[in-house]
Amino acid sequence: MSINFVTDKVNLRVDGRVATLEMNRPETLNAMDTDVIKGLVCKLKEISDSDEIDIVVITGRGRAFSAGGDIKTMLSNINESDFFPVMDCISELIITLYSMPKLTISAVSGAAAGLGFSLALATDYIIADKTSMLAMNFIGIGLIPDGGAHFFLEKRLGETKAKQVIWDGKMLSADEALKQGLIQEVAEGELQQTLESRIADWLSRPVQAMIKTKKIMAEKNRPQLLKILELEKYGQQKMRGTIDHQEGIKAFIEKRKPRYIGK
């Protein structure tokens, strides 16, 4: 992908050693279409090449972190020939974020659901606002998680609990997500204040040593993450062809409860 991809759907701010990437589709609760995904990839690669930046914060503008993949454009109306390129863009985003030589933080307010939650899980540290809600809710439209979620959930929870979270697809409060080990911190006061405290703490440490530990672990785990992303891509293609998925999409658009038949 060209590093020169330009979009106004992703904003980048740099303040000293900290870069903040903001998803900028507030009218859709920052649903991730291909422009958002490509914009994030390009900005992350740009940041990776900078020796001046040590910490990257990912956030969403407005009322949500990200409601997930843009269902209407990415899942229901997408041409079949475009599906794999979109999934490859998602894989590139996740691998770039997970393995970049910077410390990464997701600052979650409002919803972090589906692919939005996968994106947050790919960062080193998740801080959630007290009122935020998090969900691995692909099951709600007859799909499997993507964005490396199988990898990240198993790492955080173990296989048995990861399957339960995926199969339940429940919306979790910040406190519930913290209790399960899905996130690292819940902001007791203002999210921005908690974020700034965490950043100040990290900047006072020998950050290069922290980054080296991250790089060692990322290098060790990279082959497994790549394998999971590939399995998710082909698994998702199969799920898109099911009757249950078509029903899930229809019910979502019609704002009603889906009637699944297991086919």
Q: What are the pLDDT digits (tens) for 38-57?
A: 999 999 999 999 999 999 99
Mean of pLDDT values over 52-67: 98
To the nearest whole number, what is the mean pLDDT of the chain?
Answer: 94
pTM for the complete prediction?
0.95
Q: What are the pLDDT digits (tens) for 120-172?
A: 999 999 999 999 999 999 999 999 999 999 999 999 999 999 999 999 999 99
To the nearest whole percent, how much of the chain has pLDDT over 90? 89
Mean of pLDDT values over 249-254: 88
Q: What are the pLDDT digits (tens) for 82-125?
A: 889 999 999 999 999 999 999 999 999 999 999 999 999 999 99
Residue 71 is predicted with a pLDDT of: 74
Q: Is the pLDDT of residue 3 over 80?
A: no
Sheet of strand 133-135, all strands in order from the earlier edge strand to the far edge: 111-113, 133-135, 171-173
Q: What are the pLDDT digits (tens) for 184-209?
A: 999 999 999 999 999 999 999 999 99
Residue 72 is predicted with a pLDDT of: 67
To the nearest whole percent, how much of the chain has pLDDT over 70? 95
Residue 82 is predicted with a pLDDT of: 84
Residue 253 is predicted with a pLDDT of: 84
Mean of pLDDT values over 64-77: 77
Mean of pLDDT values over 14-24: 98
Q: Is the pLDDT of residue 74 over 70?
A: no
Burial (Cβ within 10 Å: 0-12, 13-18, ≥19) of residue 52 = exposed
Residue 75 is predicted with a pLDDT of: 53
